[in-house]
Amino acid sequence: MSHNKLPKDWKIKKLEDLLDYIQPTKYIVKSTDYDNSYKTPVLTAGKTFVLGKTNETEGIFENLPVIIFDDFTTANKLVNFKFKVKSSAMKILKPKDENVNLLFVFYFIQTIRISFDTHKRYWISVFSKLPIALPPPETQNAIVSKIEELFSELDKGIEDLKTAQQQLKTYRQSVLKYAFEGKLTEEWRKKENNLNTANALLKKIQVEKENEAKRIGKKLKPTNSLTVNDILQLSKLPENWKWVSLGEVISDLTDYHANGSYVKIKENVQLLDIPDYAIMIRATNFEKNNFNKDLKYITEDAYNYMSRSKLFGGEILIGKIGNAGKIYFMPKLNSASSLAMNLFALRFNVDVNKYIHYHLLSSFSRQEISKYVKGVGNPTIDKNSIRSLAIALPSFEEQHQIVQEIESRLSVADKMEESITQSLQQAEALRQSILKKAFKGELL
C-alpha cells in the first residue's frame, strides 16, 4: 500500500491502536456435551465456527460485536451474537472507541496474507503491529456499506455457480444410473444383431481365470457368486444382461500385504523420499491429482520383491482403511509403480476395467460399498466384501458402447465444471480486488 497516495483525511495507524484484545479464559465452555436444543453457541475461529450449543448460563460473552481470532492459525470470524468458546487459543477483538468501525477493520484483516508455519501466537507478535490506513468514521461507514453492496452481488453469483456445480454432480450420477440400467444403449441394442450375452462373457472370463491359475500353479480364488435371493433383491436388467458379483469378473484382488508378512516386507522394503526406481502409489496421489511431486519411492530390488502389487495402469484401486471404499483408476505412468498400503488393486484378464470403474462410481455401487464399510473413526473394508459387490453385466460389445456413451456425456460436464471452477476463482480474486481498492481509498 502506498500511504503517500491516500486521501488527506486518512491516517496511518496500527491494528493495536484500533482494537483491544480480550483473553477468552472466563468464556471457555466447561462441558462439551453439546445439543442443538441448547441456547448458547460454542465457537471456534476456524471453518467449523459453531462447534455446538451449550446450556451453560455463566461465562457468556455479550459485549458485541467482536472479532474472534485464532492465535495460531490466524483464522478469524465476525460475531454479532452471544457465545462461549472452546479453548484459550484465540483473542476476542473489540474496537477501542466509537471512531472505529469494527466491520471496516474486519474487512481489512481479510486482505492480510502471511505465512503462519511457525508455532506462535500471532495477534500480539504480528497482526497487532500491522499498519492500516484509517479514514474518518463517516468514510469508514460508507466504505463498509459499499463493500457489502458489492459482496452481496458477488455472493449471489457465487451461489448460482455452486448450484450449477451441484447440478453437474446430479447429472453425472444420472448418466451413470441410466448407463447401468441399460437405458443409454437401449436404441443401440435395437440396431445390433447377434449380440453376445453376459453369460458368454462370464464363461470367457472364467476360462481366462482357469488358464491363468494353471500357468502360475495356484488355485482359483473364491468369486462370492450372488445367490438367487441376492438377485431377487436387485432391479430387473435388459435381456441378455446378468447380475454378477465383482469377484466373478476380476482376475486378481491384491494389496501391499499380499507380498508377505509384515516382518518380511519391512526387511525388504524401505520407503524413500528421494527419487528412485519405482513410485509408491498412495491415495493422496489421486486426491491431489499429483503423480509428480511429494512422492514416495522404493528401490528396484524392493519393487521386484513386491511382485504381487506392481501397477501398470488400468487397474481399479479401492481404499481399504481410512478412505475405505473410495474408487480410483490407475493411470499409465512413465515410471515403474507399486501399490502402497491402505489400497486394494483389482485386475482383469478381459478388457472390462473401464466399465467396472464407472459402475463402481455409480450411486448404486456407492450405496452397496457403504454397506460393507465397517467402523467410524478409521473405517475399513475387506477383500471378501469387495468380491461380493453386485455388478450389472452386459455383453463385452455393449460395455464398450456404454463407456463411450458415458464419456461423451461426462466430458461435456467436465468442461462445464472447469469453467465454473475458473469463475469461482475469478470471483474470489474480484473480492480481494474490491477490498484492495477499499483500503487504498479508491472504492468510493
Last residue of a domain, one of 134, 158, 193: 134
My answer on whether 219 and 323 are in the same domain is yes
Alpha helices, H only, 217-287:
228-232, 262-268, 283-287
**Confidence (pLDDT) at 4:** 64
- 370: Cβ–Cβ under 8 A, 6 or more apart, which residues? 325
326 pLDDT more than 80: yes
Could you tell me if residue 282 is inside a domain?
no
Residues 243 and 361 in one domain: yes
End-to-end CA distance of the chain: 17
Task: Let me know if residue 82 belongs to a domain.
Answer: yes
Q: Is residue 273 part of a domain?
A: no
Note down the domain range covering 232. Answer: 176-266+308-401
Alpha helices (runs of H) in 233-299, residue ranges in sequence order? 262-268, 283-287
The answer to whether the CB of 104 falls within 8 A of the CB of 143 is yes
In a domain, 293, yes or no: no
Residues 188 and 75 in one domain: no
Distance (Å, rounded) from C-alpha 396 to C-alpha 128? 67
Q: What is the pLDDT of residues 285-310, one digit of tens each?
A: 999 999 999 999 999 999 999 999 99
Crossing angle between the packed helical segments 102-109 and 137-179, to the nearest 10 degrees: 50
H-only helix segments in 180-321: 186-191, 198-216, 228-232, 262-268, 283-287, 300-305
Residues 196 and 102 in one domain: no
Tell me how long the chain is. Answer: 444
Q: What is the pLDDT of residue 341?
A: 93
C-alpha–C-alpha distance, residues 356 and 225, integer Å: 16
**Residue pointed to by grid coordinates 455463566:** 58
CATH number at residue 89: 3.90.220.20
The candidate with the shortest Cα–Cα distance to 324, out of 378, 282, 256, is 378
Q: How far apart are CA 361 and CA 172, in angstroms?
A: 10
192 and 107 within one domain: no
Residue 376 placed within a domain: yes
Which band of pLDDT confidence, cut at 50, 70 and 90, is reported for residue 361?
very high
Do residue 208 and residue 94 come from a single domain? no
* pLDDT above 70 for 1: no
Average pLDDT in the 184-211 region?
Answer: 93
Domain shared by 109 and 193, yes or no: no
- Closest to 112 (Cα-Cα) out of 149, 63, 69: 69
Same domain, 112 and 184: no
- Tens digit of pLDDT for each residue in 235-270? 999 999 999 999 999 999 999 999 999 999 999 999
Residue 90 covered by a domain:
yes
Q: Among 80, 112, 134, where does a domain finish? A: 134
In a shared domain, residues 125 and 214: no
Same domain for 224 and 333, yes or no, is: yes
Residues 196 and 78 in one domain: no
Q: 438 in a domain, yes or no?
A: no
Domain end call among 71, 100, 134: 134
Mean pLDDT taken over the chain: 94
The pLDDT value given to residue 223: 83
Whether residue 192 is found in the same domain as residue 120: no
Residue 165 domain flag: no
Number of structural domains in the chain: 2
Beta-carbon contacts of residue 71 (< 8 Å; ≥ 6 apart): 89, 90, 91, 121, 122, 123
> How far are the Cα atoms of 52, 85, 219 from residue 32, in angstroms, in the given order?
8, 11, 55
